[in-house]
Amino acid sequence: MNDKPVVLVTRKLPDAVEKKLAEQFIPLLNPDDRLYDTGELLQLAENADAILPCHTEKFDADTIANLPARVKAIANFSVGVDHVDLEAARRKQVIVTNTPDVLSDATAEIAMLLMLGAARRASEGEHIMRNQLWKDWSPAFMVGRQITGKRLGILGMGRVGQVVAARARGFDMTIHYHNRQPLNPDHAGDATYHDSVEGLLANVDVLSIHCPASDATRGLLNRERLATMHRDAILVNTSRGGVIDDDALVEALQTGVIAAAGLDVFNGEPDAIHPGYRQLDNVFLLPHIGSATRETRDAMGFRAIDNLVAIFSGREPGDRVA
């Protein structure tokens, strides 16, 4: 590349990523980490050949249609691409990439944390300790559930789901899963395949959601499906909030249809999260930190840069989704 392309970076990236980006491109950085509104984004894009956004920026059909003609690519700093209208990008001939694989270990760790936190009433325990409410110990105090030896259901046995299964086997959990198609034995291992969501839910003690958000999965965990789970079941979500019907889940947790939930992702995050979750003791909440390790955030950035280098070198990027 003789003349360095200009890349609009919409959020503050790790220092190592910004340094590497500057070696290959002219970056337009966001050192204050402000969330740009659509008007600002489009105005800044006037001077850019590509955009390196996060899932916090929404590229709907109108936004993509109004992108300057010089913008050739949207290289996402995320594995999920539900914030981008991929069909609109194809019409505009804007290449879209993501950052798969490198998030799997970190997200699986958070899934295990959510399982344990929800099962062992970590939110309640944290509240008691920070507010000096611990007055006594008894055999009946803070009794939760054990996940060791339980049945783990994985909804979406892709990269992350398979790592979660590997980690859960360390807790002697038996693995069940649902995909559109069963995996080959090399990837499924000893996991039991269920050909329907309902069949999976009825046969697990803990459900971990790892399917992408799409029109097909929006509201997938609704009132009817939650009712097929048993009353001691725990639901964990590290994928996207859109997979869950919030009203249905809040009601299920309030009425004891299921026992507890651990959530890292939400509809309307961060400002418009369903208020019911904050009122429930049996929900363990985290602020969308599934990929928030130094190692993973650096790897995500390097992967996005690799995709941009390929695009502006005339090669097919390895992680193209549109």
Environment class of 221 (CB within 10 Å of its CB; exposed 0-12, middle 13-18, buried 19+):
buried
Q: How many domains does the chain have?
A: 2
Whether residue 225 lies inside any domain: the answer is: yes
* b/e burial code for range 35-59 (CB count within 10 A of at least 16 → b): ebeeeebbebbeebbbbbbbbebeb
Beta strands in the chain (DSSP E): 6-9, 26-28, 50-52, 73-75, 95-97, 151-155, 174-178, 192-193, 206-209, 234-237, 260-263, 283-285
**Is 321 within the bounds of a domain?**
no
Does 188 map to a domain?
A: yes
State the residue range of the domain holding 109: 104-285
The pLDDT value recorded for residue 190 is 96
For residues 310 and 173, give the distance between their C-alpha atoms in angstroms, rounded to a whole number.
42
Residues 278 and 298 in one domain: no
Q: 135 and 247: one domain?
A: yes
Say if residues 208 and 154 touch (Cβ distance below 8 Å). yes
Residue 194 lies in a domain: yes
Q: Are residues 93 and 119 in the same domain?
A: no
Residues 177 and 240 in one domain: yes
Angle of helix 294-312 relative to helix 15-24, nearest 10 degrees? Answer: 10
Q: Is 82 in the same domain as 183?
A: no
59 in any annotated domain = yes
The answer to whether position 318 is within a domain reads: no
Same domain flag for 152 and 270: yes
Contact 267, 103 (CB under 8 A): no
Domain identity same for 256 and 267: yes
Does any domain span residue 322?
Answer: no
- Are 131 and 279 contained in the same domain? yes
Catalytic residues: 240, 269, 288
Q: What is the pTM of this model?
A: 0.94
Mark whether 182 and 253 lie in a shared domain.
Answer: yes
Longest dimension (CA), the chain: 71
Q: What is the pLDDT along the chain (322 residues), one digit of tens a residue?
A: 458 999 999 999 999 999 999 999 999 999 999 999 999 999 999 999 999 999 999 999 999 999 999 999 999 999 999 999 999 999 999 999 999 999 999 999 999 999 999 999 999 999 999 999 999 999 999 999 999 999 999 999 999 999 999 999 999 999 999 999 999 999 999 999 999 999 999 999 999 999 988 889 999 999 999 999 999 999 999 999 999 999 999 999 999 999 999 999 999 999 999 999 999 999 999 999 999 999 999 999 999 999 999 999 999 999 999 9
pLDDT at 212: 87
Reading the block at residue 206, the tokens are 């803990």
| CATH at residue 67 | 3.40.50.720
Q: Which residues share a beta bridge with 283?
A: 261
Q: Within this chain, do residues 84 and 68 fall inside the same structural domain, yes or no?
A: yes
Within this chain, do residues 80 and 199 fall inside the same structural domain, yes or no?
A: no
Q: Which of 61, 72, 89, 55 is nearest to 5 (CA)?
A: 72
In a domain, 1, yes or no: no
Could you tell me if 86 and 174 lie in one domain? Answer: no
Give which of 318, 246, 307, 319 is closest to 50, Cα–Cα: 307
